[in-house]
Amino acid sequence: MTSSIEKTDRNLPEGIINQLIELDLKGFSEWDSGKFADAEKTFLEELEIIRKKEKEEKRAIHKGASFYNLAISLAYKGKMDEAIIYFLQAYVEDTLGVDYGQEDEADGAPAFRVLRYLFRLRIDVILEINKHVFAIKQKGQWKNAVDPLVILKQVETSLGLKLSEVSTWVKVIPEKFTPKMPLGFPQPWEHRVFIGGAYRNSESMKALYKIKDAVRRKDFRYIPIMGLDVYVDKEIHHRTLLLLHTCKWAIFEVTFPAGQLMEIERSLDYETRLLILYKKENSDIPESVSSMTRTIPQRRATFRGYKTIEDIPSIIAEFLPRFEDAGKNGNS
């Protein structure tokens, strides 16, 4: 369908983008640390910033990501009914963010996938949301569609449902919502960055979380992959090798020797682009790096030392290419 109604500007204002990025990173870090109540507060703060800006600019601004991240935080806490309502608001925001007549394009966004494939949201709810959003755009009310709850209440009335009983809107309520992703390959190979190191060493873990944060800061579309973030029940080392095989990029911290040395050597078979990090006391590569690792061709691996973990983000920013170039050969 060719749109005859001009798309309204729901983009985030430049003035708050950096502030929201910092809050996103803070919230993600709180997820990693299991501080889900803190993450809930962080993403609520994000929403308040956007809502304040909506009042100032007298227009609706896209809030889908903030609603989604808040929903995830609540689901981690086990507050499933509240989480579903925020996932629904995220989906409404996504339908408001696409062209007139293309509301089903929002079905490719994360909120839809969680609602439809995890919670098994009723299809009539989805269709009704699309119908009401379509009508809003058609009536010239698009710019002022600030509160997705208004649309959900219209859906509630149309279908004879109750938001206070939102569990009846879905067919499945997961008993557990874990921050650990299932073992699998949900993103393209060239988007995934494996992070390896000594998971049982506290000093190593500080560096690994700094690496993870730096990957996200390079571009949110890169996906940091750590063995600790994946739910496995047994054969952990074998599973980490499988994970490594799903990543084009790999960053290993080797100051503290562990199973990562075997993973580095195996990565030669996987066409993985390697960054090998180590804490340097001088200009030499530490003896903890195996002789085989040292002989990896320079076109396949980059060796970089750091004095403190605060040096790590700039090294990773240089190593990873622009996201748009990630699928090309080489790493530049």
DSSP string, 290-329: -HHHHTS-TTTEEEEEESSGGGHHHHHHHHSPPGGGTTSS
> Is 6 contained in some domain?
no
> Is 9 contained in some domain?
no
Same domain for 264 and 121?
no
Of 119, 142, 169, the one marking the end of a domain is: 169
Same domain for 137 and 199?
no
> Is 190 contained in some domain?
yes
Token digits of residue 80: 């499933």
> Is 51 contained in some domain?
yes
Task: Return the pLDDT at 122.
Answer: 94
Same domain for 25 and 165?
yes
For residue 161, the Cα-to-chain-centroid distance in whole angstroms is 32
Task: Return the pLDDT at 288.
Answer: 66
Same domain for 80 and 214?
no
> Which positions of the chain have pLDDT values less than 50?
1-2, 233, 331-332
Same domain for 130 and 197?
no
Structural domains in the chain (count): 2
Interaxial angle between packed helices 36-57 and 14-32, expressed in degrees from 0 to 180 and rounded to the nearest 10: 170
> Is 174 contained in some domain?
no
Same domain for 255 and 162?
no
Of 142, 169, 196, the one marking the end of a domain is: 169
> Is 1 contained in some domain?
no
Same domain for 199 and 295?
yes
Same domain for 74 and 126?
yes
Task: Return the pLDDT at 237.
Answer: 63
Task: Return the pLDDT at 133.
Answer: 96
Residue matched to tokens 């993103």 = 187
**CATH classification at residue 218:** 3.40.50.450
Same domain for 162 and 197?
no
Task: Return the pLDDT at 1.
Answer: 43
Same domain for 151 and 19?
yes
Same domain for 270 and 208?
yes
Handedness of CA 80, 27, 274, 281 (dihedral sign): negative
pTM of the model: 0.67
According to DSSP, the β-strands at 181-182 and 230-231 are parallel
> Is 296 contained in some domain?
yes
Of 112, 143, 169, the one marking the end of a domain is: 169
Residue 285 DSSP symbol: P
> Is 99 contained in some domain?
yes
Same domain for 161 and 61?
yes
What is the Cα–Cα distance from 110 to 195, expressed in whole angstroms?
Answer: 24
Token digits of residue 309: 């973990």
Task: Return the pLDDT at 272.
Answer: 87
Domain that holds residue 218: 181-325
254 close to 207: Cβ distance less than 8 angstroms: no
